Amino acid sequence: MQVVAFAGLVLALGYLVVWSADSWADWVVFAVIVLTAFGAALAVNHREHATGARSVKRSSDSRR
């Protein structure tokens, strides 16, 4: 349900942007807003645990 709501929001906002954009400057401003939002989403993405980069394997032979 969240995906459908998000897709509807994106489509509605996209329609408003296409409808109201008059010149190339409007598209530049829109691109800067989109890139800023994408950069912020990447900046706040925090991984709690590593994805297998440091796997610890122990055996009975390694007792040092």
Cα dihedral angle (25, 29, 35, 38), rounded to 10 degrees? -150
Model confidence over 18-57: pLDDT tens digits? Answer: 898 889 998 998 899 889 999 998 888 877 776 665 666 6
Note the pLDDT of residue 18.
86
Instruction: Classify residue 60 by its DSSP letter.
Output: T
Note the pLDDT of residue 3.
92
Note the pLDDT of residue 7.
94
Residue 27 makes CB contacts below 8 A (sequence gap 6+) with 21
Can you tell me the distance from the alpha carbon of 58 to that of 46, in angstroms, rounded to the nearest whole number?
29
